[in-house]
Copies of this chain bind each other. A is one copy, B any other.
Amino acid sequence: MNVQPFIRKANYYETDQMGIIHHSNYIRYFEEARIHFMNELGFGYDKVVAGGVDIAVLEVRCRYKTMVRYGDTMRIHVTIKELTPARLVVGYRIEDNETGELKTTGESTHCFLSCGEHRVVRLSKTLPELYGLFEQCATRKQAEGEA
């Protein structure tokens, strides 16, 4: 699977009075990159919803290494860090697109819900095709008991 990183310019309205991108925006960049990643897999969010599944966010985490400034272009790498039938951990690595300097790393943890009733579902049963795509990308696969 050849997944291209997500390229994104930092916007002026995302700066704060320290002259840098406000730290809350990276959580939004992660979401943009995650959606781009799903499209790269050929299984966009609309297809997920059409399959009756919502991907919910259980946790986010972000480590700030060096500052991003207005006008900088970021390159965001997305990886599958953990995958079980009921849980997904997505990893993010933001680099400066010109220099390659590491800017931020982070993770988001997700579970899978049925669209209507919002019951927890097992992705491997409900959307086995997507589960298979995630599996191919996973850098490390865990048995559900360890998750």
Residue tally, chain A, CB below 8 Å to B = 32
A22 to B13, Cβ gap below 8 A? Answer: yes
Decide yes or no whether A124 CB sits under 8 A from chain B: no
A35 touches B12 (CB 8 A): yes
Provide the main secondary structure of the chain A interface. mixed
CB pair A58–B63 under 8 Å, yes or no, is: yes
Contact B63 A23 (CB under 8 A): no
Indicate if A24 sits at the interface (CB-CB under 8 A): yes
Say yes or no: A57 contacts B46, CB within 8 Å.
Answer: no
A62 within 8 A of B: yes
CB closest residue in chain B, given A14: B16
Q: Does A133 contact B (CB under 8 A)?
A: no
